A and B are shown apart, each in its own frame.
Chain A
Amino acid sequence: MKLNTNSNVYTVCYAAVMVIIVAFLLAFVASALKETQEANVANDTKGQILSALGYDKATIDVAKVYEEKVKDNLVENGELKPYDGKFNTTYGSLIKNGELHVFTGTTANGETAYVIPVVGRGLWGGLWGYIAVNETKDKVLGTYFYHESETAGLGARIGEKWFQNQFIGKPIFDSENNVALTVVKAGAAQNDNEVDGVTGATLTSKGVAAMVKDGLTAYKDFLIAQDAAAVDATSCCGACEGNCEEGACQEGECQCKKDEVEQ
């Protein structure tokens, strides 16, 4: 018997069977590979955190170095509490729920650092990044940024090292304790807390600026509160890096010449 492949019944049955087979196949592949994929994403996230700390994630054993150097913490009332739960990769929704993660670790140069995850929006899709701040929480030690779908060769260049390295050593707050670190037009950076944007990618650069500002502002309690506690005479003068007025450190008060540290 020859099948009439043009009959309605045949067409409908064919479509139904095909859809069911394909659905099962895709569901099977997705569930079989899910674990490996999630492990990859987690590993990549750890690599990004290490990258903000100045490691080259392509040349190190990410899982091992992360285990050794980095600890996951939660911010509660401006204090850090160790976090023992499952390693997370979606900080956007966590920050919205008030679950603020901070990673403590040491940079490739051996400095103590706090890594803060930030999320934002670029021109076409989401942006995310990690900002490593120094022990006194007033300067950037390193950053990592990446994106979902920015234009290759333009906005996508925020993922490159030359852009990320510009942030190193920049002060985070202005004299009124507002987040002042920002990205400006390419070539226009003049002040201490300004960073050159990417030529031809104004909107992505603005997205990074907004992400940095919003992200660090969300962590202000942690960044500033700890600051006030840590400011005794010695650490203050230490943070000023010798820029203190003579004798000012003795009474536990300190005026920096550059106003870099505000109490």
Chain B
Amino acid sequence: MSKLFSAENKAAFSNPINLNNPVAVQVLGICSALAVTSQLAPAIVMGLSVTVITAFSNVIISLLRKTIPNRIRIIVQLVVVAALVTIVSQILKAYVYDVSVQLSVYVGLIITNCILMGRLEAFAMQNSPWPSFLDGVGNGLGYALILVIVGFVRELFGFGSLFGFQIIPDSWYVANGGWYMNNGMMVMPAMSLIIVGCVIWAHRSINKEAK
């Protein structure tokens, strides 16, 4: 057991969540961070799907790493990711139909998520399956964390709700004689870019010392 959770393996898992966060530091996977974060629930599902797919494609590539012909390695990685994503999307459609309707096109977009290709190329091609798995889970969770932060801010200020439940009291709204209005900007994808920017800013100033 001690070998399974050596300092190196722990670092493979925990670094991407904070110090080497794929979105905040590596600036990967931004496009989907913009697309699915207007509400919290799809953001979480997207984060979890990416976590599962990064982890398992990392493991598969890591198992195959010694057999993969160097010249077509990117294609092999892409095929593995695409196959996994297709299978996950089929399973979602069969067993959690509502979620798959909400995610619709974004599940397909996981294939083009740079985090996956980035981790496969940078980590799984050089490391054994177990650390690769941890690295995949860590990166997926790091990505999910940013998605949740952005989704939280956007849903709270854009719709006045969280997970679809109204948080801001109805009586505050202008329509009901109050003073509050939902911020329409928050609903637009552009605003999530600004929020991601703020997250990166906060993240870097907190971690100035650690680096």
Contact of A26 with B87 in the complex, beta carbons under 8 Å: yes
| Residue B38 lies at the interface, judged by CB distance under 8 Å to chain A | yes
A contact residues around B35 at 8 Å (CB): 152
Question: Which of the listed residues A5, A19, A200 has the most CB atoms from chain B within 10 Å of its own CB?
Answer: A5
Contact of B69 with A5 in the complex, beta carbons under 8 Å: yes
User: Which residue of B36, B67, B91, B158 contacts A33 across the interface (Cβ within 8 Å)?
Assistant: B91
Contact of A22 with B79 in the complex, beta carbons under 8 Å: yes
Contact of A40 with B67 in the complex, beta carbons under 8 Å: no
B contact residues around A11 at 8 Å (CB): 69, 71-72
Contact of B105 with A149 in the complex, beta carbons under 8 Å: yes
| Residue A29 lies at the interface, judged by CB distance under 8 Å to chain B | yes
Contact of B69 with A10 in the complex, beta carbons under 8 Å: yes
Stretch at the interface among B15-23, B46-54, B92-100, B138-146: B92-100
Question: Which of the listed residues A3, A6, A40, A43 has the most CB atoms from chain B within 10 Å of its own CB?
Answer: A40
User: Which residue of B71, B83, B91, B101 contacts A25 across the interface (Cβ within 8 Å)?
Assistant: B83
A contact residues around B30 at 8 Å (CB): none
Chain A positions 1 through 38: 1 when the CB is less than 8 Å from some CB of chain B, otherwise 0: 00101100011001100110010011001100100110
**Which of chain A's residues 99-149 have a Cβ closer than 8 Å to chain B?**
148-149
| Residue B104 lies at the interface, judged by CB distance under 8 Å to chain A | yes
Contact of B93 with A154 in the complex, beta carbons under 8 Å: no
* Smallest beta-carbon distance B21→chain A, Å: 24
A contact residues around B71 at 8 Å (CB): 6, 11
Per DSSP, chain B at the interface is: helix
Contact of A40 with B184 in the complex, beta carbons under 8 Å: no
User: Which residue of B70, B90, B104, B187 contacts A30 across the interface (Cβ within 8 Å)?
Assistant: B90
Contact of A36 with B87 in the complex, beta carbons under 8 Å: no
Which residue on A lies nearest to B71, using beta carbons? A11
- Given contacts A5-B69, A11-B72, A200-B184, is CB(A153)–CB(B158) below 8 Å? yes
| Residue B76 lies at the interface, judged by CB distance under 8 Å to chain A | yes
Which residue on B lies nearest to A35, using beta carbons? B94
B contact residues around A40 at 8 Å (CB): 93-94, 97
- Given contacts A33-B93, A149-B105, A153-B187, is CB(A26)–CB(B67) below 8 Å? no
| Residue B188 lies at the interface, judged by CB distance under 8 Å to chain A | yes
| Residue B210 lies at the interface, judged by CB distance under 8 Å to chain A | no
| Residue B68 lies at the interface, judged by CB distance under 8 Å to chain A | yes
A10 to B158, CA, bound (A): 55
| Residue B171 lies at the interface, judged by CB distance under 8 Å to chain A | no
A contact residues around B93 at 8 Å (CB): 33, 37, 40
| Residue B86 lies at the interface, judged by CB distance under 8 Å to chain A | yes
Contact of B68 with A14 in the complex, beta carbons under 8 Å: yes
Which residue on B lies nearest to A30, using beta carbons? B90
Residue contacts A-B, CB under 8 angstroms, 5 given: A18-B79, A26-B83, A37-B90, A37-B94, A40-B94
The 8 closest A-B pairs by CB, nearest first: A153-B187, A40-B97, A36-B94, A33-B94, A11-B69, A22-B83, A152-B38, A37-B93
